[in-house]
Structure 1
Amino acid sequence: MTQLLLVRHAEPLAATAEPGAAGADPAISARGEEQADRFAKWLAGAPDRDGVAEIVTSTMRRARESAAPAVRLLGAPEPAAVEDLCEFDAGRASYRPVHLRDDADEDWQAIRAGVFPAYVDGPAFTARVLAALDAIAARQDPRATAVVVCHAGVINTYVAAILGIERPLTFPLHHTSVTRVLVSRSGTRRVSSVNETQHLAGMV
């Protein structure tokens, strides 16, 4: 079976959109850089490292920067950046990381309750996430591993669809945590693990 390693990006900074930009696109923080380095070292030493056929990211800066240490350490080609793997908040004028969120914020309340904020078209987001991740799995050789560095909403939505869970944002995911999905040649998906954090000892 093909394995998808779905990796949430490292901790980002707060950001507001630059003039003329489509939305806020934060870099990762110093803590995020350590998380990304730890993930890279873990992946380089993992038993299935030799099976890694491709590293893919969303087009968002926090995902691309999170993947960079693993790309360097594995000597992998430049990752494909896939717009359909972007988070549901892409295009918003500002971004605040989880630890800076205001509990009174209605969007944050919705996310904590496991549902999309009101501004999100849930069915459309779900459809594009499933199509993007299924396409990545479909182009791999059987038994290959694709590493996909993306976002908590993307990973949660995919896992929820596979498991038949109505709440699309069910699982808390740590930054650079790993969620494994196995995909058969017929396209059958199976969730193998959620939110692995063995490389983050002392940081979670």
Structure 2
Amino acid sequence: MFQHIKVIAFDADDTLWINETYFREAEEEFAKLLSKYETKNKIDQELFKTEIKNLVYYGYGVKGFMLSMVECALELSNYKIPQKTIEKILNIGKEMLDKPIELLPRIEEVLASLQGKYKLIVATKGDLLDQERKLEKSNLLKYFHHIEVMSDKKEKDYTKLINHLDIQPKEFLMIGNSLKSDVLPLLKIGASAIHVPFHTTWVHEEVSQKEQENSEYVTLTNISEVLSLI
């Protein structure tokens, strides 16, 4: 199945290290700060709508999330939210950016084993500065030939990346936690993908059962199982 692979790309957030958990914690803190204006359910819904609306402006990552929290707070409070609360919201984002990097189990073992046999790259969405900072703090940079911080992960984005690498789609394998971003677009362009689910998934990254139908991909419970496949 993977006999033609030359390049293996890894998603970063929730594939190499924990990320989404911190967003859920931040949303809890945000809801507490806004609790006098709306119910938690309503706050969660409105924040998500604001994030999705702002993706076209800010892209993915903590900084865009911070701006969306501020915008959402202003609207839910009818623009009466105290400046001190805005400061607390910004501090939620800064604390997220300062989080230590917690690698997922056995990831370094997998990278060390694959290095030299394949060209390893990171293909991730998010803010360039933040992802570079996380990679530096992770001590994983030594394993990767190339780091690609993508504005999005659609078919055209992967096609552009594969062309840049000067390989054929069948020579490219993507490993990640998101079916929507790391698996289904690859299958549509003739590349391979391995799905390693993370216990928490952003709603925006969820896909319907229909979208998954007729898609051939491998799902693993732990990334270390990759070593027995390729």
TM-score computed with the length of structure 1 as normaliser = 0.42
More strand, by proportion: 1
Q: Select the structure with the greater relative contact order (CA < 8 A; seq sep ≥ 6).
A: 1
Q: Could you say which structure has the higher helix fraction?
A: 2
Q: Which has the larger radius of gyration?
A: 2
